[in-house]
Amino acid sequence: MQSKKVRNERYFFRIKRSINNTVLRKFIWGSIYSWYLLKHKSKYFKIFTHLTKIERLLLYKLALSLNNKSIIVEIGSYLGASTSFLACAAKEKNHTVYCIDTWENEGMSEGGRDTFDEFCKNTEPFKDFTIPLRGLSADIAKSFDKKIDLIFIDGDHSYEGVKTDVEFWLPKVKKGGILIFHDIGWAEGVSRVVNEYIKPIQIEEHIIDNTYWARVKK
Ligand SMILES: C[S@@+](CC[C@H](N)C(=O)[O-])C[C@H]1O[C@@H](n2cnc3c(N)ncnc32)[C@H](O)[C@@H]1O
């Protein structure tokens, strides 16, 4: 007969081993998957952006998690780096990515300039899955009549700017839809709006690098 102590020790050892195996499995599969993505999407990593590689892969993964033919909106497309990762998934799952920007470099530290030609050149491989809508996001919202599965907000980072984006676009997001905000780490406007408007309605939330994302109930 085994003593109770020995039986307990064996029992805890088995639990510990299975936890370790799960963690290890996740780590191994995560590494293989990241390596695969980095290798196959490497040309899109060359487009200039302030998003880290992990943040770009996150956009791709979240867009890939949607049902086929989903509607994606991006506010602040700039040179097309984040667009390309959303659009990689769009190409695989037949989504449509609506890209909204003035392409006048509003609020960018490098100063105003027309970035539209660069955006078009960089996103040329995805032109069947992306629709550029040029103008201020609040103006575009007034005539946008589709229900949104995922929205990436990376435009005007001031409190008033992010608040305006949320007020105009949140009502168009589907129940259970995904909202992603870049620059939560340094832009006070972004973190304030997330705290005031998104946290009270989120059912799942995460921060990865400088990016906050949430699934909302509404
Ligand atoms: C930080 S950049 C976006 C970066 C981009 N997501 C990337 O992958 O690198 C912000 C962009 O938002 C645009 N923008 C700023 N305020 C805007 C507004 N109110 N409406 C539309 N676009 C705006 C700017 O022109 C700029 O191209």
Closest by alpha carbon to 186, among 50, 57, 16? 50
Confidence of residue 27 (pLDDT cuts 50, 70, 90): low
CA 101 to ligand 1 centroid distance, Å: 6
C-beta 123 within 6 A of ligand 1 = no
Give residues with Cβ within 8 angstroms of 207, minimum separation 6.
Answer: 184
Residues of 20-45 as b/e, b for ≥16 C-beta within 10 angstroms?
A: eeeeeeeeeeeeeeeeebeeebeebb
Residue 114 pLDDT: 97
Topology (CATH level 3) of domain 43-216: Rossmann fold (3.40.50)
Using CA positions, which residue lies closest to atom 18 of ligand 1? Answer: 136
Whole-number average pLDDT of the chain: 90
Q: So where are the chain's domains? A: 4-40, 43-216
Per-residue pLDDT tens over the stretch 46-61: 999 999 989 999 999 9
Element (H, E) at 85: helix 81-93
- Check if the beta carbon of residue 184 is closer than 8 Å to that of residue 194: yes
C-beta 158 within 6 A of ligand 1 = no
Distance CA 30, CA 103 (A): 35
Determine the average pLDDT of the residues in 128-134. Answer: 98
For residue 116, give the 3-state DSSP assignment.
helix
